[in-house]
Structure 1
Amino acid sequence: MTTPLTVGVEEEFLLLDPVTGENVPAGPAVLGALPAHLREHSRAEFRHSMIEMVTPVCTTLAEVGEHLGRHRRAAAEAAEEAGCRLVAAGATPVGEPRLTVSDNPRYRAIAAHYGPIVADPAVCGCHIHVGVPDRETAIQVGNHLRVWLPVVQALSVNSPFAAGADTGHASWRSMQLERWPTLGPPPRFAGKEDFDQMVGLLVGSGAMLDESLVLWHCRPSSTYPTVEVRVTDVCLTAEDTVLLTGLVRALVATALADLAAGLPAPDVPGTVLRAASWNAAHSGLDGTLLDPVALRPRPAWELVGNLLTAVTPALAQQGDLDAVETALDRLRAEGTGARRQRELFARTGSLPGVLTELAHRTRG
């Protein structure tokens, strides 16, 4: 087994009223109620009704799972102290009475620049970082990853409800984010100079407020020596997040091997990838997905099988193959977070009842 690539995970969570299910602006109170040793692994987020928990750098999926579980339990307890519930859902399920942004100069600047786009209710994602040698490598790895990101997105869908009703989409978060100008499938870049030139052009045009607003589904991190995959909804359970972490790390390891072998990245047009991403957000795994290489719709689980086949050597090398195969079997039996939410609603007929159960599953 080769030395595993390092990984780190950021999870964003909603804070909801236990009775109404509406978003509660309790972020500062929840962060303040966390145990002191976990505050360094927490962050205030764009909305007062959100918090983010961040793992340290890990080398095994078991480590990732331990940190995720510990952070979720502590954050859930802190939320209860603040009179609300911590819920892992990708989009605001009921409503957000207070739409002001957190008191942060950067967030205020974003709100001033983008105007009413910022008035959408809170959305929560999961960002997975995988360590790479340098920024140039991160960009080249991104070229190889981009064709697989819609499948990763479909595995993670966890936001079917908004404004108190089923939206008909598996990831309403993804649909909400469509209005942001620099969010979506990443372009294919020749290298670092090409990337920097594109970012400079987008900043100059006003589409990006500054260089930090590179919001593509995959990007070289602006903070760490990592590739950051940010296409996914926050997952309902820590086990789901661990599965995605294993697959993303294997995709990066596979890309690194392809780069070392001189294999080119698939040259798939951005328009095709955007269509595949929309399809993934709409249907999740409960239907067909657009195969961006074969250019035709295929059963979703066939594409998941293709993904697993492509990364199996890397999973074996990282020591993750058995864990990922078992987790995929579980996901196939239980369904995505979106399907589980809909099944809960079908049984209870009550969205507040669904949110109560989601809080239990978030905590673990």
Structure 2
Amino acid sequence: MSLTAARPAEIAAEVARRPFTFGVEEEFLLLDPDTWANRPVAEQARLTLPPAMHERSRSEFRRSMFEMVTPVCTDARRLRGHLLDNRRAAAGSAAAVGARLVAVGATPVAEPDRAVVDTPRFHAIARHYGPIAHDPALCGVHVHVGVPDRALAIQACNAIRPWLPVVQAITANSPFHAGADTGHASWRAIALERWPSLGPAPYLDSPEDYDRTVQELVDTGVMLDASMVLWWARPSSRYPTVEVRVGDVCPTADDTVLVAALVRGLVATAVADVAAGRPALRPPEHLLRAAHWNAAHAGLDGTLTDLRVREPRPAWQLVDELVARTGPALERHDDRETVRAGLAALRERGNGATRQRRVHARGGLPAVLDDLAAATTSG
């Protein structure tokens, strides 16, 4: 079947019959091993990577940030192997230039050098957005799920919006900033609210609606250009994927695999809903934004907003319902056991924010960052 010639439900049905591929981009901080302040040595560190690993690395906006990407995968076990390879190679390159690689969502202590990486593109962003472009560095995890039709990718983004605050709460891994507890589980998410082109995606009806909305935002100056579409879920501008970018970078590779499996389950479920003609839930924008703020604030240690009934619910109840909603897709991709084991570990240890606070209570912020550095290259 030609996807371009088919009707939306037929396209969705055809895509739903195929296994969904996925891949991950992870951003890390390079920290001074003595002061734990950010170290602007990412480009020097990248030069020490073996050629195959250098191809998986990317220059980021800030010189203290290090990004690694996985190949496209079909199963969670292979994804885990690539994540561990990436993290260990990046940690070795960081050590070669006197830094430690740390999977943490926000600058925990300080960033003395806030210059952007020296490219025309990054300088243009810094000029356009001013001081917010020089906020301390923030690191996320971006999960790509293969969806080969752009219109279908937009519909999938609509459908997964009510569940992304739950994903955000699972990944929350940045309670500390400027050496102190912010009171939020994800300071990264709170800090990113200063950027006008980040946050939950608007509900969009079609590619034409998407393009029109983006152009209006460019014309008003909110976006520098169309590449500044940085919504929590979007059709990727580079790949035939749905890109979910709501989460803090996770402490361990196993945490990232859990999140990637859940996101793939969500996207696959959304495509199945389109194929079956089930409409996407459309919560009001103010409540959707409130649900994300609440997820960033509470993480898994409180209540989250159930956007289906517009009421607060215990966070773990919504996690369980997310697993139930994605159950058939998890089963189909052999991800059910991966998710079960990952959530069992999460229940026992807590998410990144909870773990950091427990270590902090015992040994202060240096102990937190030492623990995070060790976790970054663990399973």
Specify the TM-score bucket, using the shorter chain as the normaliser.
over 0.9
1:102 aligns with 2:117: yes
C-alpha distance in 2, partners of 1:282/1:209?
Answer: 29
C-alpha distance in 2, partners of 1:77/1:19?
Answer: 17
C-alpha deviations, 1:183-219, integer Å up to 9, x for none?
Answer: 1111111111111110000000000000000011000
Structure 1 residue 270, shift from structure 2 partner: 1.2
Aligned residues: 363
1:360 aligns with 2:374: yes
C-alpha deviations, 1:15-70, integer Å up to 9, x for none?
Answer: 00001000000101110111111100001111000110000111111111000001
Q: Which amino acid aligns with 1:257?
A: A
C-alpha distance in 2, partners of 1:257/1:2?
Answer: 9
Q: Which amino acid aligns with 2:373?
A: A
Matches within 5 A, 1:152-171: 152-171=167-186
1:317 alignment counterpart: 332
1:22 aligns with 2:37: yes
C-alpha distance in 1, partners of 2:81/2:89?
Answer: 12
1:296 aligns with 2:311: yes
Partner SS, residue 148 of structure 1: helix
Q: Which amino acid aligns with 2:211?
A: D
Q: Which amino acid aligns with 2:255?
A: D
1:306 aligns with 2:326: no
Matches within 5 A, 1:11-160: 11-160=26-175
Contact 1:18 1:84 in 2 (8 A): yes
C-alpha deviations, 1:168-192, integer Å up to 9, x for none?
Answer: 0000000110011111111111111
Matches within 5 A, 1:235-274: 235-274=250-289
Contact 1:169 1:282 in 2 (8 A): yes
C-alpha distance in 1, partners of 2:94/2:17?
Answer: 40
1:214 aligns with 2:229: yes
Q: Which amino acid aligns with 1:356?
A: D
C-alpha distance in 2, partners of 1:78/1:115?
Answer: 31
Structure 1 residue 9, shift from structure 2 partner: 0.2
Structure 1 residue 2, shift from structure 2 partner: 6.1
C-alpha distance in 1, partners of 2:246/2:229?
Answer: 13
C-alpha distance in 2, partners of 1:335/1:199?
Answer: 38
Contact 1:7 1:57 in 2 (8 A): yes
Partner SS, residue 179 of structure 1: coil
1:188 alignment counterpart: 203
Structure 1 residue 3, shift from structure 2 partner: 4.3
2:241 alignment counterpart: 226
C-alpha distance in 2, partners of 1:105/1:292?
Answer: 41
User: More displaced, 351-360 or 70-79?
Assistant: 351-360
C-alpha distance in 1, partners of 2:136/2:151?
Answer: 35
C-alpha deviations, 1:228-282, integer Å up to 9, x for none?
Answer: 0000000000000000000000001100100000110001111111000000000
Q: Which amino acid aligns with 2:277?
A: G
1:345 alignment counterpart: 360
Contact 1:101 1:107 in 2 (8 A): yes
C-alpha distance in 1, partners of 2:321/2:189?
Answer: 23
Structure 1 residue 326, shift from structure 2 partner: 1.4
Alignment RMSD: 1.0
1:199 aligns with 2:214: yes
Structure 1 residue 353, shift from structure 2 partner: 2.1
Q: Which amino acid aligns with 2:242?
A: V
1:333 aligns with 2:348: yes
* Structure 2: runs of 5+ lacking an equivalent: 1-15
Contact 1:7 1:59 in 2 (8 A): yes
The TM-score with structure 2 as length reference comes to: 0.95
Runs of 4 or more, structure 1, over 2 Å off, are: 1-4
* Structure 1: runs of 5+ lacking an equivalent: none
Q: Which amino acid aligns with 1:239?
A: D
Q: Which amino acid aligns with 2:377?
A: R
C-alpha distance in 1, partners of 2:79/2:28?
Answer: 17
Q: Which amino acid aligns with 1:253?
A: A
Q: Which amino acid aligns with 1:110?
A: I
Partner SS, residue 145 of structure 2: strand
C-alpha distance in 1, partners of 2:142/2:153?
Answer: 15
The TM-score with structure 1 as length reference comes to: 0.98
C-alpha deviations, 1:129-177, integer Å up to 9, x for none?
Answer: 0000211111010010111000000000000000001100000000110
